[in-house]
Amino acid sequence: MDISKSIRYVGVMDREIDLFEGQYLVPDGVSYNSYLIIDEKCAVMDSTDARFADEWIANIAAVLGERTPDYLVVQHMEPDHSGSIAAFRRAFPSAAIVSSEKAFAMMKSFFGEGIAEGGIRVKEGDTLPLGEHTLRFIGAPMVHWPEVTVTFEEREGVLFSADGFGRFGSTDESDPWDKEGRRYYIGIVGKYGIPVRNLLAKLAGKDVRAIAPLHGPVLTKDLARYIELYRKWASYEPEEEGVTVAYASIYGNTGRAATELAEELKARGKTVALFDLARCDVHEAVASAFRFDTLVLASATYNGGVFPAMRSYIAALTERGFTSRRVALIENGSWAPAASKTMRELLSEAKSITFHEREIRITSAPNDATRAEISALASEL
């Protein structure tokens, strides 16, 4: 993960964590990336979760040898990146923290007043010369917190992109990136499409040769592709044609209908992702709904509304700005079906949703009539 001889990796890999941010599954762990720029002055870019303070400080010391860092650049105050700031100050008391005014305010609320002493406040466009390297600070508010700054190192063309372009799991650039990059972006930054587009516009004229995020691999190849993915995600455009079929089933009958639909769609050549919302990684199902242009929701009726897994799924979509998709509904109800009506109501918080005209109602279990409807729906989609 070293970027060059003078931009070294000093981050850590967290394989102990059960849930990132208390909700995201990370079966392959998550890295807290930190980089050390070695020059006349030495700057450390961001810190790590507090549980890894000792390892991170040891990484810095191992690279620097007799030297000590001059600066700690804090781009983002979420504790996965800021948890070790106080430990850094104890280990390297002569180093100055470099950050935005808003970040210093947060730092004080996390660590107390003393943490900001001797700090250097930077704002949009400010530069920090290190010798041959120069850091230029670019405001990135709400990508993903309001205090975020990203940093462009002008000599080597490295964009230190904070949470942007991060991903869960592997830090190996040659591993497939999209699935976990998408799940990370949609889950964590997805709500903030406009701020992400603003940041992309600011970066447009920069000669970016490497992107060094705070999670996942340093990106050095095919950067235009990642930037285009980010543009699409931040604009809420589907990445490609395809159907997410997400179901919430109590005894399996609704699930059977959803599975039959998925099979019918596949038989017609469609790209399909099928999710049992009560058992899947719901954030993968959320990312899938943003990835494809069509979403099919199938739910049992429950307590006069919708099954809980479906309610929380739709909430997870709408709170992230889900928009501009085609949605088809399948409901099941043995005596007073209300799932479709409830799903429509829950989705009313999403803009520009086109509901597919055919809605399927199952009474208790799929039968020949509903199977014919499923087949017709598959043809229409």
Residue 80 is a binding residue for ligand FEO (CB under 6 A): yes
Residue 46 is a binding residue for ligand FEO (CB under 6 A): no
CA distance 161 to 149: 8
- Tell me if 32 sits within 8 A of 215, measured CB to CB: yes
- 215-234 binders of ligand FEO (CB under 6 A): 215
Residue 103 is a binding residue for ligand FEO (CB under 6 A): no
CA distance 309 to 278: 6
The four Cα atoms 193, 196, 197, 203 give a dihedral, to 10 degrees, of: -170
Residue 78 is a binding residue for ligand FEO (CB under 6 A): yes
* Nearer Cβ to ligand FEO (161/253): 161
Q: How far is the CB of 336 from ligand FEO (least distance, A)?
A: 44
DSSP assignment of 103-168, as one string? HHHHHHHHH-GGGGTT-EE--TT-EEE-SS-EEEEEE-TTSSSTT-EEEEETTTTEEE-TTTT--S
Residue 144 is a binding residue for ligand FEO (CB under 6 A): yes
* Nearer Cβ to ligand FEO (73/246): 73
CB-closest chain residue to ligand FEO: 78
Main-chain phi, psi angles of 25, to 5 degrees? -65, 135
Candidates 128, 159, 214, 243: give the one binding ligand FEO (CB under 6 A).
214
Q: Which residues of 322-334 are buried (b: 16+ CB within 10 A; e: fewer)?
A: bbebbbbbbbbbe
User: Distance from first CA to last CA of the chain, Å, rounded?
Assistant: 44
Q: How far is the CB of 173 from ligand FEO (least distance, A)?
A: 19
Residue 49 is a binding residue for ligand FEO (CB under 6 A): no
* Nearer Cβ to ligand FEO (215/320): 215
* Nearer Cβ to ligand FEO (92/184): 184
Q: How far is the CB of 185 from ligand FEO (least distance, A)?
A: 11
Which position has the token pair 């810095």? 60
* Nearer Cβ to ligand FEO (184/247): 184
What residues have CB less than 8 Å from 250, skipping those under 6 apart?
Answer: 300, 302, 307
Q: How far is the CB of 307 from ligand FEO (least distance, A)?
A: 31
- Tell me if 28 sits within 8 A of 237, measured CB to CB: no
Residue 14 is a binding residue for ligand FEO (CB under 6 A): no
Residue 283 is a binding residue for ligand FEO (CB under 6 A): no
CA distance 255 to 276: 7
Residue 70 is a binding residue for ligand FEO (CB under 6 A): no
Q: State the number of binding residues for ligand FEO (CB under 6 A).
A: 9
Main-chain phi, psi angles of 187, to 5 degrees? -65, -45
Could you tell me the sign of the dihedral formed by the alpha carbons of 327, 330, 333, 336, in that order? positive
Candidates 9, 59, 81, 283: give the one binding ligand FEO (CB under 6 A).
81
Beta bridge partners of 13: 31
What is the Cα gyration radius of the chain?
Answer: 24
* Nearer Cβ to ligand FEO (30/339): 30
CA distance 48 to 15: 14
- Tell me if 293 sits within 8 A of 242, measured CB to CB: yes
Residue 182 is a binding residue for ligand FEO (CB under 6 A): no
* Nearer Cβ to ligand FEO (188/343): 188
Residue 147 is a binding residue for ligand FEO (CB under 6 A): no
* Nearer Cβ to ligand FEO (145/355): 145
Residue 60 is a binding residue for ligand FEO (CB under 6 A): no
Q: Quick one: which of 21, 97, 192 has its CA closest to 106?
A: 97
* Nearer Cβ to ligand FEO (215/291): 215
Beta bridge partners of 135: 128, 153
Residue 76 is a binding residue for ligand FEO (CB under 6 A): yes
Candidates 46, 163, 276, 284: give the one binding ligand FEO (CB under 6 A).
163
* Nearer Cβ to ligand FEO (76/183): 76
Q: How far is the CB of 30 from ligand FEO (least distance, A)?
A: 8
- Rule CB under 6 A: which residues touch ligand FEO? 76, 78, 80-81, 144-145, 163, 214-215
